[in-house]
A and B are shown apart, each in its own frame.
Chain A
């Protein structure tokens, strides 16, 4: 399975973590406000890899790992059942990692994981969480991650969050107009942000020495957004233009449709950008009230990664974020996040003039903190991904990819496991020619059934290794680490260290994969979204019937 290298990107993004329909620019092209920074990527200057002939010494180990003084107890702790918001006991983690010390190469992996500096978290008095991971680099990324998004909007205010994100870079009360962006530029820093269904983030990549200034800029952005009327009017047209552009990205359209049908009648059905009617009608008052309700200190995380010290970060946060509001005035105005009902259903946008069909199929998955997510990610690693640029031809390790390559079933496919706070979508998406839809769907659903009934140990082992690799590889760069910290604190309430991910992944076996897959997939009603020349996509009853096998 290849991790494709885009020569222009700062590094490979393990494909398993490319959430195709998230707004997170870490895994997708960011919606950059300032085209000047379009091609400007911060290369965190790592020491270059030495030539292969020189053996790389193991990094210094502050804590030696000898043979454990006590016999390692057999692990009775049901780690697969511990939710991700709680840490399993350190004894288990030690036991899991010490299994790796048998091999020399693996010893340095275990050492490396243990040597990653711990994420330090401080909570200010107003509830703002400040978290950072120090890594002695000249650059850093500091971001504010807010629990706000389109899920918190209703039909009338849908699009407010996205609008606010657009307005955020258009000036604050202290730095009106373009003064804000100019100040960011003058630091040589890079400002970006994204809004998704449950999360909004603004982050700045800058030199480590500029961290206090960056914190001040972020606090200004988040607390003092100007929301000038003239800018709002100008921005309407720009957003509508942006909507028109995203309409041609059929993958995004497919996933928006998937949400619209899977969560019909609930807040998760809303698109992040909002409807054209709302974009035309939202007033300054709506945007201000959105900011007022959602940008509260207890719902924000100030995360940072790079060459910054936690103490200094907390000092800067105390200085600038103390004023962040943490109270709701009226009693009933605390926003509530009710459960969103999943509906097995379908939405078909047929257009025979388009060359390729985009199809996404998903069943309801678990929320963020559910430990089943680890197993489902292993399952997705078994399913693998594919597109026509893969060089292996029919010699892919993923069965489905091998079939797809050999019989030209699709142009590309990928599985996904999107999580929200209490629900999720677990499924796959593929792009194919109009006449291969049926075959691809047959093979993909067949693969699902095979996983539910007969996933084998060898493929689970391979998938676990791939997942371990992906989890570690995705954390290259301060921006990725910062985003990781912010997201984890919002989703899990704590940063889950790589050690623990490794232990949780190690605990997965084939039986667990079969059981968990059956729990979510077998004989469940899926949600289907299809765009393009989709005549060959069979009707819902047929697809629903392929979600089980006739067997005892």
Chain B
């Protein structure tokens, strides 16, 4: 007669659940029953060991139990709501935190596909105003286009202010096109077909586009010629006394 080792059940693992669950698994060696000669009086050591389902004992999981269910002689119903509530609260809070982190990670990765810092840096230009003397028009390369920054004289300012707006093709008052009257900042692209006007040229003391003969005044407004609109005024901001940031 073969002799089997003296254990019937193998506890392979027990796992803990988030709520009140405890569990364990056992292999089915308990169901392969070796034969025991039951007629032998049990004072003699049996040749093999029988294992029946009655002998399976659920292990004691007290070390894992929550406080409310430690007492084996108290109903677990009363604390059921509070235990579930705690678990769901923890789940919800973790869910919120995870969503926050996930959103941040995802946006970081996706925003890395957008324009890089050096490209973004090109979108703005900082201009030192003290470099531009009065009456002078300086041109800068900005976003691939010429940017005209003109330091106007008082005569030019008052001359532009006096112009009758209703006579203009694209009516705009000078003061609507500037933040500080002595500085006019324009995109140097002719609104007709895109050539670059020449500064301090033309019949109106402003700009003259040589391509088709559009005349702009010192405020960049179209006065004569084929262009339909005034020169574009970009977004700009004066930072401090001496600097303007365009873009």
Binding site for B on A (CB under 8 A): 233, 236-238, 240-241, 243-244, 247, 253, 256-257, 260-261, 264-266, 269, 271, 273-277, 280, 338-354, 364, 422-423, 523-525, 540-541, 544
Interchain residue pairs with CB less than 8 A apart (21): A236-B42, A237-B38, A237-B39, A237-B42, A241-B38, A253-B53, A261-B23, A271-B54, A273-B54, A276-B54, A341-B69, A342-B76, A342-B77, A343-B69, A344-B21, A347-B56, A348-B23, A351-B28, A524-B80, A540-B23, A544-B19
Q: Does B52 contact A (CB under 8 A)?
A: yes
B38 touches A423 (CB 8 A): no
With A345-B21, A348-B25 as known contacts, state yes or no: A257 contacts B56, CB within 8 Å. yes
Which chain B residues lie closer than 8 Å to A353 at the CB level?
28
- Number of chain B interface residues as a range: 35 or more
B134, CB-defined interface residue at 8 Å: no
Contacts of B42 in A (CB 8 A): 236-237, 280
6 extra interchain contacts, Cβ-Cβ under 8 A, other than A247-B33, A265-B58?
A269-B58, A345-B22, A351-B28, A364-B76, A523-B84, A525-B21
CB atoms of B54 and A243 under 8 A apart: yes
Given A247-B31, A253-B53, A351-B31, also A341-B73 (CB < 8 A): yes
Q: Is B86 an interface residue (CB 8 A)?
A: no
Q: How many Å lie between the Cα of A507 and that of B28 in the bound state?
A: 47
CA distance A541 to B33 in the complex (A): 32
- B37-75 residues with Cβ-Cβ distance < 8 A to A are 38-39, 41-42, 50-58, 60-62, 69, 71-75
Tell me if A240 and B54 are in contact (CB < 8 A): no
Kindly list chain B residues whose C-beta atoms are within 8 Å of the C-beta of A265: 58, 60, 62, 72
Q: Say whether A266 contacts B20, CB under 8 Å.
A: no
Residue from A244, A264, A276, A352 in contact with B61 in the complex, judged by beta carbons closer than 8 Å: A264
CA–CA, A14 to B54, complex, Å?
A: 29
What residue in chain B is nearest A241 (Cβ atoms)?
A: B38
Contacts of B69 in A (CB 8 A): 341, 343
Instruction: Report the minimal beta-carbon distance from B22 to chain A, rounded to whole angstroms.
Output: 5
Residue of A nearest to B56 (CB): A260
Q: Which residues of B contact A256 (CB under 8 A)?
A: 53-54
In the complex, residue of chain B having the shortest beta-carbon distance to the beta carbon of A277? B55
In whole angstroms, how far apart are the Cα atoms of A238 and B19 in the complex? Answer: 43
Convert B183-211 into 0s and 1s, putting 1 for each residue whose CB lies closer than 8 angstroms to a CB of A: 00000000000000000000000000000
Q: A276-B55, A350-B25 are in contact. Are A244 and B17 (CB under 8 A)?
A: no
In the complex formed, the residue of A with least CB distance to B69 is A341
Chain A CB within 8 A of B26 CB: yes
A524–B21 CA distance with the chains assembled, in angstroms: 11
Q: Report if A338-B73 is in contact (Cβ < 8 Å); known contacts: A275-B54, A349-B26.
A: yes
Chain B residues near A261: list those with CB within 8 A.
Answer: 23, 58
Is B140 close to A, CB under 8 A? Answer: no
The smallest beta-carbon distance between B54 and chain A, in angstroms, is: 5
Distance in angstroms between the alpha carbons of A405 and B33 in the assembled complex: 35
* Least CB distance, A339 to chain B, in whole angstroms: 5
Neighbouring B residues of A341 by C-beta, 8 Å? 69, 71-76
**Least CB distance, B219 to chain A, in whole angstroms:** 63
Q: When chains A and B are docked, how far (Å) is the Cα of A342 from the Cα of B21?
A: 11
Which residues of the partner chain B approach A343 to less than 8 Å between Cβ atoms?
Answer: 20-22, 69, 76
Q: Determine which of B26, B36, B74 lies in contact with A348 in the assembled complex, contact meaning CB atoms within 8 Å.
A: B26
Q: Which residues of A contact B27 (CB under 8 A)?
A: 350
* Shortest Cβ gap from B6 to chain A (Å): 12
Known contacts A349-B26, A364-B77: does B50 contact A274 (CB below 8 Å)?
no
Name the CB-closest residue of A to B8.
Answer: A276
Query: Given A265-B60, A280-B42, A338-B73 in contact, is the A346-B21 Cβ separation under 8 Å?
Result: yes
Which residue on B lies nearest to A264, using beta carbons?
B58
CB of B51, distance to nearest CB on chain A (Å): 8
| CA distance in complex: A347, B14 (Å) | 10
B238 at the interface (CB under 8 A from A): no
Q: Would you call B246 an interface residue if the criterion is a C-beta within 8 Å of the partner chain's C-beta atoms?
A: no
Smallest beta-carbon distance A182→chain B, Å = 26
Residue among B30, B38, B54 having the largest count of chain A Cβ atoms under 10 Å: B54
Say yes or no for B4: interface residue by CB 8 A criterion: no
Instruction: Give Cα A339–Cα B76 distance, bound, in whole angstroms.
Output: 10
A527 CB to closest chain B CB (Å) equals 9
Instruction: Give a binary string over B93-109; 1 marks a CB under 8 Å from any A CB, 0 the rest.
Output: 00000000000000000
A13-B169 Cα distance, complex, nearest whole Å: 103
CB distance from A434 to the nearest CB of B (A): 13
B33 proximity list for chain A (CB < 8 A): 244, 247
For B58, the chain A residues whose CB sits under 8 A away are 260-261, 264-265, 269, 345, 347
Encoded as 1 (CB less than 8 Å from any A CB) or 0, chain B from 209 to 235 comes to 000000000000000000000000000
Interface centre among A237, A277, A338 (most CB of B within 10 A): A237
Contact B31 A240 (CB under 8 A): no
